[in-house]
Homo-oligomer: A and B are copies of this chain.
Amino acid sequence: MVTLAEVAQHAGVSASTVSYVLSGKRSISTTTRQRVEQSIRELGYHPNAGARALASSRSNIIALMIPLRTDMYVPVMMEIAIAVATTARTHGYDVLLLTGEEGPDAVRRVTGSGLADAMILMDVQLDDERLPLLRHTDQPSVLIGLPADTSGLTCVDLDFTATGALCVEHLASLGHRDIAVIGEAPAVYERHTGFAERTLDGLRSRARETGVRLLHRPCEGGYDAMAVTLARILDERPGTTGFVVQNESAVEPLLALLRQQGRAVPEDVSVVAICPEQVAVQASVRLTSVAIPAQEMGRHAVERLMAKLDSRGTDEVVLIEPELTVRASTGPAAH
């Protein structure tokens, strides 16, 4: 294993000079720099991460806490994780993957051990037990998702309230008066996941404003659960002509069931999905949808974090504006 000292000797300079070449924290003459860089290349030198962390008390690692659960949005989580990892790399950081399993202890461990310089939390509950810790530590953090109380925290998320409003807006403007919302699994609502509730708020308030009737039903993924849910909805509100779906694994089952019942999309009923772009495009009907901008969220979170690490940038909530793309699943309401 090549060390700094060996590089220094090879280049005929002192260790500190090599260090300054590497960090750029002091000016170095061009000739010296080139000589050192040459030696680094020839010897295949890589700075030792542990030594570096010890001496500088910065690990150049950020921790990413992902949910252990896989009952929702798996591809979204994955996409965010990948975006975080690649964006972090462009800033010279690596990413440590933590699962939610350890809960608040993970936060303590990482903060206490100096393993990571900062952290990104995904799948934040409205009243998340990790939040008090984050507020107390001086370690920078960014949440992907919005808790109930965001004071003293930096958060990045899609504006789900606006998303909900946008969906109702679209259907209402097409003349739909009875709209059913097919939501995430009941468990998601039970543990008060922010985005689900905020979407609901947006849906409801815009429904009120536009005088549209709304029926919200949580739904486990899959064909069978969807069949039961749909039957109930049509039983309670036979005149339903618009659907908003916020549950990836209910999308295709819903379309299949509608087809099977002879309800044509978009002639008889309209469907708006809140889902990743790919799902909307690959579905059996190209879906009018509001995309969940996973990459953008991951990227944003890292950028915020870097700003905090450089002590520019303050606590604030970044809400990404939703965009509704009209495709082939929505049309004027039949009357």
- Residues of A whose CB lies within 8 Å of any CB of B are 1-2, 44-54, 57, 59, 61, 64, 66, 68, 70, 74-75, 77-79, 81-82, 85-86, 89, 94-99, 101-102, 108-109, 111-115, 221-223, 249, 252-253, 255-256, 259-260, 281-285
Contacts and interface: CB of A to CB of B under 8 A. Distances in A.
Count of identical protomers in the assembly:
2
Contacts of A109: 46
Contacts of A113: 46-49
A173 to B, nearest CB: 27
Contacts of A115: 49, 94
Interface of A is mostly: helix
9 contacts: A48-B54, A68-B86, A74-B75, A81-B97, A82-B99, A89-B99, A95-B96, A96-B97, A223-B284
Contacts of A99: 82, 85-86, 89
A96 B89 CA distance: 12
Given A74-B75, A97-B97, A221-B282, 20 more contacts: A49-B53, A49-B114, A50-B50, A50-B52, A50-B54, A50-B114, A68-B82, A70-B75, A70-B82, A81-B97, A82-B99, A85-B98, A85-B99, A86-B101, A95-B96, A95-B97, A96-B97, A222-B282, A222-B283, A253-B284
A53 B47 CA distance: 13
